[in-house]
Structure 1
Amino acid sequence: MTVVVGYLPTPDGLAALSHAIEEVGRTGEKLVVVNTGELGNYAGPSFATPQDLDAIDTQLTEAGIDHLVLQPTNGLSAADEILLAASAHDASRIVIGIRRRSPVGKLFTGSTAQQVLLEADCPVLAVKPQR
């Protein structure tokens, strides 16, 4: 089985990654880390740097975790990329980071978390960063 985690280089994304690493450390499952830009914006802050992804790869390798780090550049939404990865890797669950947003903020910018929660074919664990 596989755990898919949506990763952003933000406190929310780091919380999701940390939780996913803890989970697969206990279960021995494979971890698929997915990071992508927002609808084709690969210069934005949500698109992790190669150094960031290399650090994640090194951390997972040193921890002995079977893993795959993906950074698709298909122009799809982050939610669609996470859902595609979950389907392609037969995910047992998806881990995503969430942050507090106003209803108006969600209306104008959409919600990756909401789409993943509504469309996933497997359980989704939403993780908040600790304050």
Structure 2
Amino acid sequence: MFTVVAGIDKNENRAAAVADAIESLPGEDETEVVLVHSFTDNPEGASVDQIGTIRRVRERLEAEEIDVQLDGRSGDPATTLLEAATEYDADLVAVGARERSPAGKAVFGSVTQSVILEGDRSVLVCTAGDFE
């Protein structure tokens, strides 16, 4: 089983880019995906399956017959994503990239950069054709 831990925030374009990238991985019938959403502020007590982007990515992947699990956590997104990758013994961590200015393209967004620099697993940085 090939396990992918994917960080999904509330941005539709980044979530779609992650789904696109996961769908294009070879061996989808032996792929398990864990969609992780980190709640940094959750006063209403929402659960991970109430997040629209999580639901849409899950539906897309399940339509491709990819096994999907949901994992909601609280805290710093990069830290929680790396913790999930360790707990699930992920083979790959997938993150959506933010739009960057020309100068900022030399440096990834803070979550993506932290996952790349602090993690001990391969990281797939997913970009969308259109950024929001």
Bigger proportion of residues as strand:
2
> 1:28 — aligned with what?
30
Q: Secondary structure, in 3 states, of the residue corresponding to 1:96?
A: strand
Distance 1:48 1:90, change over 3 A: closer
Gaps of 5+ in 2: none
> 1:13 — aligned with what?
15
Contact residue 95 and residue 127 of structure 1 kept, 8 A? yes
Distance 1:13 1:61, change over 3 A: closer
Q: CA RMSD in A?
A: 2.8
| Shift in Å, 1:84 | 0.8
Gaps of 5+ in 1: 105-109
Q: Secondary structure, in 3 states, of the residue corresponding to 1:130?
A: coil
Within 5 Å, give how 1:78-97 maps onto structure 2: 78-97=77-96
Identity %: 25
Deviations 1:46-74 (A, max 9, x none): x97716234444443333211211121x3
What's the TM-score, normalizing by structure 2?
Answer: 0.74
Aligned positions, number: 120
> 2:42 — aligned with what?
42
| Shift in Å, 1:20 | 1.7
What's the TM-score, normalizing by structure 1?
Answer: 0.74
Distance 1:3 1:114, change over 3 A: same
Within 5 Å, give how 1:49-88 maps onto structure 2: 50=50, 52=52, 53-72=54-73, 74=74, 76-88=75-87
